[in-house]
Structure 1
Amino acid sequence: MARQRLGQHFLRSQTVLERIALSVCPEPQPLVIEIGPGKGALTAHLLRRAERVIAIELDRALAVELRQKYEDEPRLTIIEGDALAADLAQWGPAVIAGNLPYYAATAIIERVLDSGAGLRWAVFLIQKEVAERMAASPGGREYGFLSVRTQLAADCAVLFRVKPAAFQPPPKVESAVVRLRPRPGVAPDPEFLAFIGHCFRQKRKMLRNNLSGLYPKDLIEAIPEGFQRAERLTLSQFAQTYRRLVAYSKETIMFTPEQAQGLAMFLAMGLEKEQQTTKKVLAAVPAESLDFKLGDKGRTAGALMAHIVSSELWFADGIESGEFKSGAEAVSATASSAEIQEIFATKVPEALARVKELSAEQLAKPINFMNFMTLPAVVFIQFWTVHTVHHRGQLAAYIRAMNAKVPSIYGPSADESY
């Protein structure tokens, strides 16, 4: 008598049993491990095709019945126990098969796929819906975490369907036979599987929603997969997305809010000192020489001055808002020297003051820099400083080429003592 609590539906169709046995052993096999042999219907067919069969049965009464039925069969070993707790690799390389109870099928299959290099292949009779989900392709309604989990470890194929009438008692749903051939290589990383689980957390949501809170939103949105649903991603796309986000997690400089605030104070002090020097260099450019440039590819002196001041404001705005936007520069390349100097003397200090007033949390928050890198906001104060120093050095070379007086910068110049 079948026990409902164990999900027992005994397969009685000899035609189906023979088809399953042929799928398990298309040619004679040294060893087959059968999970859930029940009354031994499939076991009999397997013994005709395998040199040895190990049958693992959870139901004590059925295990006793099997031992009595096959007491004269030395090639059959019957083990009473739970397949989920068994070391399936202990008997060496084997084909694994079984008519699995619906309630435990997924867990058993995961256990089998994790059993290691000893698995040659596996053939299971399971609920049709589960079989279709395991073998589903991206974009289909059935494609989900189970599909990816299974296909990372094995090539999965649905071999044929089995009607309820083939069982006693008949289940309420159809069944199907699946074959799993393990992929060569290492088992899937548990952290990668957890990541995929998060991707499918809400199946109809995009990755940027399902992964929010795990990674910065701007980082997720910087990758193409961020605006797709997990159900549309291939295995390689999952792997590529994971590598990108893990690389961020492991390689990005991270600070606690307190560390970011302390670093910001230090970097701002250096920037303020550099701005005093920049102010002198801007003032040293002769007002009548703004059209001067070095070479055909160089900017004019006026355009270079405007770029320096515009960039100071751009970095400040990006750090303050948490977003670096592309667009027109704040200061026109045709502005006069007096206009450029006035903006630098008034607007730039105000911008730096706002950055200094940011909270510790804002300074520690990662910012995506033009889809090139993502770093804590405080780090961009140093980028700001280096950018200004770089272009200021170019402007100083222009001043010398104009035969104008070059102010002292990090030491005395030929025209000004330090």
Structure 2
Amino acid sequence: MILQALLTEFEYEVASTRKLLEAVPEKDILYKPSPVSWTMGELAQHIATIYYWYVGTLTKTVYDMAADSLERGSPDDIKATLALFEKNVALARTALQGLKEENLTEDWTMKVGERVVLGPMPRGIVARSFLFNHIYHHRGEMIVYLRATGNKVPGMYGPVYEDSAGSK
């Protein structure tokens, strides 16, 4: 029951994330709102990378980030980031579809080398917080970046402000 809900949400939200990443213009790829912020390109690439983490999170009981590597390409190339996104979504989908309901209650831990950075905690909680909610958080940041640079934000949950009569 919970797993089916996660799969349904995953597919719906992948479409929304795709729309958002497709809205990132090359002309603003180097924009960053503050000295400590990522550029728009780095933020887009991070969003695409989170989908890669589904594999380690959903197929391993201990995910060592230091032992894993992902070729990302340049964050200044939005087309490369979109390709990375599509590749990682396919991997994430396969990992999600390979789960069984009982896998959601298994303990899971994230390490970087010998240092434990998350967990142990039930895999279902990790999926919700570290994967799903993490993406939503960064999508919200991307919306701010797009608006700050005068770009149109795509409607992900219906019309956006710019589409409404109130903005005319």
Once the 2 structures are TM-superposed, how far is the Cα of residue 358 of structure 1 from its aligned partner? 2.2
Give the total of aligned pairs: 156
Instruction: Give structure 1 regions of 4+ aligned residues with deviation exceeding 6 angstroms.
Output: none
Correspondence 1:187-336 to 2 at 5 A: 262-327=1-66, 330-336=71-77
Q: Displacement, 1:333?
A: 4.9
Q: What are the Cα deviations for residues 176-235 of structure 1, in whole angstroms up to 9, with x where unaligned?
A: xxxxxxxxxxxxxxxxxxxxxxxxxxxxxxxxxxxxxxxxxxxxxxxxxxxxxxxxxxxx
Task: Give CA-to-partner distance per residue, 1:255-274, whole Å, 9 cap, x none.
Answer: xxxxxxx3122122112211
2:83 equivalent to 1:342: yes
Secondary structure, aligned partner of 2:120: strand
Distance 1:283 1:289 in 2: 13
- Confirm whether residue 357 of structure 1 aligns to residue 89 of structure 2: no
Conserved? CA contact 1:315–1:324, under 8 Å: no
Per-residue CA distance 1:123-173 (angstroms, 9 max, x = gap): xxxxxxxxxxxxxxxxxxxxxxxxxxxxxxxxxxxxxxxxxxxxxxxxxxx
Residue ranges of structure 2 left out of the alignment (5+ in a row): none
- Is the counterpart of residue 400 in structure 1 residue 147 in structure 2? yes
Matches within 5 A, 1:154-193: none
Report the counterpart of residue 378 of structure 1 in structure 2.
124
1:361 CA displacement: 4.2
One-letter amino acid of the structure 2 residue matched with residue 412 of structure 1: P
Which letter does structure 2 place at the counterpart of 1:323? V
Per-residue Cα deviation, 1:7-56 (whole angstroms, up to 9, x for no partner)? xxxxxxxxxxxxxxxxxxxxxxxxxxxxxxxxxxxxxxxxxxxxxxxxxx
Mapped contact 1:315–1:380 kept (Cα < 8 A): no
Q: 1:292 to 1:396 in 2, by over 3 A?
A: same
Q: Secondary structure at the match of 1:378?
A: helix
After superposition, the C-alpha distances for 1:281-309 in whole angstroms (9 at most, x for unaligned) are 10101022211110111100010011111
SS at match of 1:367: strand
Match of 1:391 in 2: 138
Judge conservation of contact 1:363–1:376 (CA < 8 Å) in 2: yes
Secondary structure in structure 1 of the residue aligned to 2:89: helix
Cα distance, 1:335 vs. partner? 5.0
Q: CA deviation at 1:329?
A: 5.5
How far has the Cα of 1:340 moved from its partner? 0.9
Give 1:349 deviation, angstroms.
Answer: 2.9
Would the alpha carbon gap of residues 306 and 367 (structure 1) be closer, same or farther in structure 2, given more than 3 Å must change? same
RCO higher in 1 or 2 (8 Å CA, sep ≥ 6)? 2
How much does 1:330 deviate? 4.7
Q: CA-atom RMSD, angstroms?
A: 2.1
Q: Provide the rounded CA distance (Å) in 1 between the counterparts of 2:93 and 2:104.
A: 13
SS at match of 2:62: coil
Q: Give aligned-pair identity as a percent.
A: 24
Tell me the TM-score normalised to structure 2 length: 0.81
Alignment of 1:79-90 (within 5 A): none
The Cα offsets for residues 363-395 of structure 1, whole Å up to 9 and x where unpaired, read as: 332102443322222222212110000001001
* 1:272–1:358 distance in 2 versus 1, CA, 3 Å: same
CA contact (8 A) 1:317 1:351 kept: no
Contact 1:316-1:351 at 8 Å conserved across structures: yes
On the 8 A contact 1:265/1:356 being kept in 2, the answer is: no
Q: 1:331: Cα distance to partner?
A: 2.3
| Alpha-carbon separation, structure 2, partners of 1:369 and 1:346 | 23
Give the unaligned 5+ runs of structure 1.
1-261
Report if the CA contact (8 A) 1:308-1:391 is conserved.
yes
CA distance in 2, matches of 1:330, 1:269: 28
Evaluate the alpha carbon distance shift between residue 325 and residue 415 of structure 1 in structure 2; reply closer, same or farther with a 3 A threshold. farther
